[in-house]
Structures are given as structure tokens and as C-alpha cells.
A and B are shown apart, each in its own frame.
Chain A
Amino acid sequence: MTTSPQNDPAVVEAASALLTEMKGVSVSLVYAAFLTDDGFDVARLPSRVTDGPRFASMASSMQALSDAVAHELRIGGSEYLIISSLNGYVIQLRVPGSLMVLSALFDNDATVGAALALTRTYAARMTGIVGG
């Protein structure tokens, strides 16, 4: 049995380091977390406004629902999902080739394009760490 990512100290440490770096790159990044497919935190940015484990569970549900919609509509696997709201947006995508997801909350100061590009970059860098 392989160790799940949230229980692998090396993965947790690498994920935490990536999130810290990501926060340093974008001042609009409010919160971000790497999580497992089934909704467990691997690493997250510190936050006073977000319950990390709960966010991870909801993010995994959203990911699964978007995958289900894409499957139902036969449009291939879902690449990313965006929730846009009055005061910000959530961008979420799979870490390519792994069973992990990167979910990030941005405020409205960032453009969707820039935020998506940043999230993609760090998801891809996580692939380099966990393999894909």
C-alpha cells in the first residue's frame, strides 16, 4: 500500500514550500491548498477566514462534480473550474498526472487569466515533485 500524500512528510513539506512561494508571487492570492482527490488537506496557506479541512472537502466535491458533468456531456476530462463571485474567485485544477488538486482563492485585483496561469504553473511544479 502506498503512503497517501497527506501522510507523506516529503510531499507535505514540498507542497507547503510551493504554496508559500505562490503567495509570494501574487498578492491577490488569499488562500490556497493542495488536497487529495478525496478531500484531505496535504498543505495549505495559513488562513483566519477559511476552515482548511472543510475547504478541502468542498473542493474535492466540486472537482468530482465538475468531472461528472464533463463525463456526462462527453467533453473529455475537466481541466479546471472557476467560481467567480462578487469579491473574488476560486480556481481549481488537478495536479497533472496525480490524484491531487490545487485550489486557490484570489481577490478581484488579479485577472482571471493571470490567476489561472499562476495556478497552472504551481500545479505543474507539484507534478515534478510527486511524479506524473
Chain B
Amino acid sequence: MGAGMTTAIKALSEIEVVSTEANNSERDVVDKPTTTVALDYGEIVLSNDEKIRMYGIPGQRRFDFMWAILKTRAEGMVLLVNNDAENPIAEMLAFVEDFRELCYKGGVVVGVSRSEIAPQPTTGEFARALAEVHPELTVPIFTLDPRSKDQMQMALLTLIVNLEMRETFGEAGVQQA
């Protein structure tokens, strides 16, 4: 919570975002007035018959039923991690475990938010922690500002090109290694 998921969807979407924000009663955990309790929805239209649908889902584990709904249907995920949280690396690792299948098909980019407030851990530390548990994964991990349309587009494009390259080279690359 507090990583900027709703803001990120708003930065990317070309339509008015459908939001499901509720009053946040955990102000002691993250001091913000509202929190997403179901999903945020946005779109980028590519053509008359093609669009990229983006669903933002809450990170709190009590909403993991929403994860279950989307992870079987999603092509990829930008995992936003709040670097100002108590243990952002542990949070990332927990999500990688929960979305293991997406990760292994190249469908995950990790966006570390609020690094301007909390510069540690660095993206290198995130990557090393991930490599200890999943040495075979090479996940794009970078700092980003969810308010920045430019940076969110970069994350989305990275996600898509990584998925496509995994689909193209992944099996051969595994055999090569």
C-alpha cells in the first residue's frame, strides 16, 4: 500500500480511470486518505479492435482474492514497490512468489517508487535479493515515479518487450545456458 498504483494507472490510461477507492482506516500504516479495495481500470487504445487493458489491484494480502482473479488472465504485471515501506525487498519477494508463473514467462517489471524519499535499498540490492532466491530470473527492476507518464510508459514498454523477447528466445536461451 502506498506505492502509487492508482496514480500509475491514471498516468497511463487514455480513458477516465475506473477507481474503487475506499476510506483508509489504516492511517497508522500508510498516511493517505483512501485506498483501493477492488481494482483500478484504465486503457490504452491501439486500434479499433485492439486495446491494452490495465488493472491496478491492491497490494494488501487481505485482497489476495483479487490477485487470484487477475493473475490467471493477465499477460504481465508492473509490480510497484514502495521503497519507504518497512521491508520493501521482502514485499517484492513475496509478490514474486505469488506471481511466480508470470515472472518465469518474463511478465514482470518491478518499479521501485518513493526512492527519492527512501534511497535504500537500491535496485541492485533488490536484484541481488531476487537472484538469491531465483537465480534463473532476470527481472527488470528500476526506480520510477508513478506520477510520471513518461516513466510509466517506459515500464509498460519494457514489460511488453521483455515478454516478447522471452517468447522468442526464452526456450532456446534456457537450453543455451
Contacts and interface: CB of A to CB of B under 8 A. Distances in A.
A associates with B:
yes
B21 A64 contact: yes
A2 B45 CA distance: 43
A64 B25 contact: no
Interface stretch (B62-70, B112-120, B167-175): B62-70
Interface stretch (A12-20, A31-39, A118-126): A31-39
Contacts of B23: 36-38, 99
Contacts of A53: 62
A65 interface: yes
The winner among A60, A61, A63, A99 for most chain B CB atoms within 10 A is A61
B43 to A, nearest CB: 13
Interface in A41-73: 53-54, 56-58, 60-65, 67-68, 72
B11 interface: no
Nearest to A72: B18
Given A64-B20, A68-B19, A68-B20, A38 B25 contact: yes
B22 A37 contact: yes
Contacts of A37: 22-23, 25, 37
Given A61-B37, A61-B66, A4 B25 contact: yes
Interface string B20-50: 1111111100000001011100000000000
Contact of B62 (A1, A4, A57, A67): A57
Nearest to B28: A1
B18 A68 contact: yes
Contacts of B65: 54, 57-58, 61
Interface of A: 1, 4-6, 36-40, 53-54, 56-58, 60-65, 67-68, 72, 99
